[in-house]
Amino acid sequence: MSQVSPQSPNAPEEVPNYTILKAIVIFLGILLVGGFALVIGTIIYRVSNADEQAQTGVTQTLVEGSGREISVSVPPGAKLIETQLSERYLTIRHLLPDGTYQMTVIDAKAGIVLSTVTFQEEKAIP
């Protein structure tokens, strides 16, 4: 009997299958590109919101230990009548020097003024 060697000189070499490795590399590449897109999108979003805040007249400052401080511009001589805070909105009611009431609604999470409403008394028709 003759012995056959495990690898004869005429046998083809086995090539390792890298299909799974290629799929993993492609998946990680997609995750990397998606992560960069997310970071760039977040930067663009925050920069565009900073411009919005400058236009509304509301400024935000981080105060150590107490969260966010929001400053709202009101006319000189206005008196604070009432404030209400809900889960999402802060409502401030003022009495203006001319006797009319003004209500300002602020998005409490974003810190931007959503609307300002001025209440004027109707004059009675004789």
> Phi and psi of 39, rounded to 5°?
-65, -45
Quote the pLDDT of residue 24.
95
pLDDT of residue 39: 95
pLDDT at 35: 96
Could you give the 3-state DSSP secondary structure of residue 102?
Answer: strand
> Does residue 97 have a pLDDT over 70?
yes
- Specify the pLDDT at position 37: 96
**Sheet with 101-107: strands ordered across:** 79-85, 89-95, 101-107, 112-119
User: What separation in angstroms does the CA of 38 have from each of 42, 45, 110?
Assistant: 6, 10, 20
What confidence category does residue 40 fall into, taking pLDDT thresholds of 50, 70 and 90?
Answer: very high
70 burial level (CB within 10 Å; 0-12, 13-18, 19+): middle
Q: What pLDDT was estimated at residue 87? A: 78
Give the pLDDT confidence score for residue 68 in this predicted structure.
66
What is the spatial distance between Cα 76 and Cα 68, in angstroms, rounded to a whole number?
A: 24
Residue 56 vs residue 37, higher pLDDT = 37
Query: In terms of pTM, does the model score above 0.85?
Result: no
Give me the pLDDT at residue 21, please: 92
Q: How confident is the model at residue 6 (pLDDT cuts 50, 70, 90)?
A: low
